[in-house]
Every structure is written in C-alpha cells, then in structure tokens.
Amino acid sequence: MMTTINAFLAAKGIYLLTLILLSLGAAGIIVCNNYMKKLICMNVMQVAVIFFFLCFGQKTGGTIPVALSEVVKASEYINPLPHGLMLTAIVVSLGTTGVGLSLLFRITEKYGTIEEDDLIRRENKTKTGEKE
C-alpha cells in the first residue's frame, strides 16, 4: 500500500501540488473581495500552470539544455521546449499583471476603494447620480 502511494507520489505527486496551487488561485479569485488579492491569486494560478508545464521538461539523467560537447545525445539533456514556452508565458503574465495593476491604480483613484462590494455600491451611486 505505502509503496503504491510512494510510487504514485514520486511519479505524479508534483501534479498534485500544482493542482492545489491552481485550485488555491482559482478559489482566491472567486472568494476574495479585494481586487488586489484577486490579482495576486491570478498570478498564483499562472505560476501553477508554469510549474505544470515545467514538469514535462524534467528528464531523469538529463542536465540543463546547453550543449557541453560537440556530440549531443538526446538522453543527456532535459527537454528545452517547455522552458522556451514558459518564458513566453511568464512574459505574458508579466504584461497582464502590469496592465492589471495600472487598472487597479485607476480604480483606486476614481472610486477610492478596491473592495468589490464597496465598488459596486459606488458604481450604482454614480449611475443614479448621473440620471438626476
């Protein structure tokens, strides 16, 4: 029994961790009332996916993908593709976070709050205010 679990965890345990990270992020986006926290949770989610991808890059017996000699054998180096992809994903998440933060900046300036319920109340206030 324990060996099965051990084997499972050794082979797939990291997916469990990324899944927990992902769920935490998703739950945070849904549950948190504060927009800043939502943004952080969003980042947590993105990081989880980046971890998830990097899992595929691991290869037993492989080293970093920089060729050390003229003759290259595929089994000696880990998979470079996920790293390349995740570099892109990181940059994209950076951009998204930047835009998100500047949006938050504007929201704070206009409404003076980043709590969602407060914000909704104030939005409605401006709506009725405009009609008058």
The CA distance from 86 to 77, in Å, is: 18
CB of 6: closest distance to other proteins in angstroms? 13
CA angle 35-50-81, nearest 5°? Answer: 150
Nearer to other proteins, 3 or 106 (CB): 106
Q: Which residues contact 95 (CB under 8 A, 6 or more apart)?
A: none
3-state secondary structure at position 130? helix
Residue choice 34, 37, 40, 62 for contact with other proteins (CB under 8 A) = 62
User: Taking CB under 8 A as the criterion, which residues in 69-128 touch other proteins?
Assistant: 70, 72-75, 77, 79-85, 87-89, 91-96, 98-100, 102-107, 109-113, 119, 122-123, 125-126
Query: With contact defined as beta carbons under 8 Å apart, do 82 and 53 qualify?
Result: yes
Under the binding rule (CB under 8 A), the answer on residue 19 touching other proteins is: yes
Q: What is the DSSP letter of 80?
A: S
Q: Which of residues 20-39 bind other proteins (CB under 8 A)?
A: 20, 22-23, 26-27, 29-31, 35, 38-39
1 scored as a contact of other proteins (CB under 8 A)? no
Element (H, E) at 132: none
Instruction: Pick from 61, 117, 128, 132 the residue near other proteins by CB under 8 A.
Output: 61
Closest separation in Å from C-beta 130 to other proteins: 8
The strand pairing partners of 77, in sequence order, are 63
